[in-house]
Amino acid sequence: PGSGTFGMEAVARQFATGKKCLVIRNGFFSFRWTQIFEMGGMPSGCTVLMARKTGHGSQDPFAPAPIDEVVRAISDEKPDVVFAPHVETSAGILLPDDYLRQVADAVHAHGGLFVLDCIASGTIWVDMQSVGVDVLISAPQKGWSGSPCAAFVMLNAAARDAALAGKSSSFACDLGKWLEIMQAYENGGHAYHATMPTDALTMCRDIMRETQEYGFDKVRDEQQELGDRVRALLAKKGIKSVAAPGFEAPGVVVCYTADPDISNGSKFAAHGMQIAAGVPLKCDEPADFRTFRIGLFGLDKLHNIERTVDSLDRVLGDILE
């Protein structure tokens, strides 16, 4: 119960306490792992591999740490747990499946766990088994079109065994305890640890079923098409992406701007459109770093691609004229 961040903290407090960790940081919301670690004094040590700018210009794009560098660091340091963001909300950077598989193979080579934050993935699904993810974190409010109320933490067999064998440093965010609660319900029983956001979870369950009936592959394809078209529209207008080619997320598009009223969203709001304000990356970006963010989550946008793109095109035309 809580939000995606509660899920991140529950995972950290279950698996990172007293352990050696490595974080792939692609922006502000993967910097959150470091914040959680420091507040809880959890890991015995932590290495951070940051995204970096691909050129020297003020609006050159950022790319994740090169995969060879990541694999080498994992091989050399042998972290117990590796944390990565599938989609980094502050930068619009997506880690492709091949990148993720190489991370998973590297950490599994010495028996470590791979934790993937998929809170901002939208409907770009990650197959835990084929990619090699041990712990996957999601939440209701983005790709699932639900109300914020909880985190979804998926565990494979290795992670489940580690969770049940380990000990959390939190009472409310005790992942092992919540796993026991879930198992009790799955076995036809009842159990209690803390009050659940039942109404919001029920609504989210209904929307998940709606998405399933519509087709998981169809909404994935819609997400990709919508993202591609929005990115093409922005590029045509001379607006530059923060995410480098090959790492561009279709569900959240982050672009550079020099205008503070575009960055804080007020110019969009004046034309009846809500966007997300730009935030820092915490990846050694320059002092003049300024962005705005467009979230392309929700079934209403995915099922109405023409309307969504046309609305954005119209508002951008008004703002930029």
Q: How many CB atoms lie within 10 A of CB 96?
A: 12
Sketch the domain layout of the chain as residue ranges: 4-199, 216-320
Both tokens of 291, joined, read 């962005």
Tell me how far apart the alpha carbons of residues 290 and 286 are, in angstroms, rounded to a whole number: 9
Tell me how far apart the alpha carbons of residues 48 and 33 are, in angstroms, rounded to a whole number: 10
Question: Fold identical between 4-199 and 216-320?
Answer: no
Q: What is the pLDDT of residue 321?
A: 79
Tell me the mean pLDDT per 10 residues along the chain, length 321.
96 97 98 96 96 96 99 99 98 99 99 98 97 98 90 97 93 96 95 95 95 97 98 98 99 98 98 97 96 96 97 96 79
Tell me how far apart the alpha carbons of residues 130 and 32 are, in angstroms, rounded to a whole number: 27
CATH architecture assignment, domain 4-199:
3-Layer(aba) Sandwich (3.40)
Show contacts of 275-281: CB within 8 Å, 24+ apart. Answer: 278/90, 278/254, 279/27, 279/28, 279/90, 280/28, 280/90, 281/26, 281/27, 281/28, 281/31, 281/51, 281/62, 281/90, 281/91, 281/242
Q: In terms of pTM, does the model score above 0.85?
A: yes
Q: What is the pLDDT of residue 106?
A: 99
The answer to whether 8 touches 117, Cβ cutoff 8 Å, is yes
Q: What is the pLDDT of residue 287?
A: 93
Q: What is the pLDDT of residue 143?
A: 85
Choose which CATH entry (3.40.50.300, 3.90.1150.10, 3.10.20.30, 3.90.1010.20) describes domain 216-320: 3.90.1150.10
The answer to whether 121 touches 142, Cβ cutoff 8 Å, is yes
Q: How many CB atoms lie within 10 A of CB 232?
A: 11
The answer to whether 90 touches 281, Cβ cutoff 8 Å, is yes
Sequence-ordered alpha helix ranges (H) in the chain: 4-15, 28-40, 67-77, 97-108, 128-131, 157-165, 175-186, 198-214, 216-236, 260-263, 266-269, 299-302, 305-320
Tell me how far apart the alpha carbons of residues 42 and 77 are, in angstroms, rounded to a whole number: 18
Q: What is the pLDDT of residue 200?
A: 96
Tell me how far apart the alpha carbons of residues 66 and 68 are, in angstroms, rounded to a whole number: 5
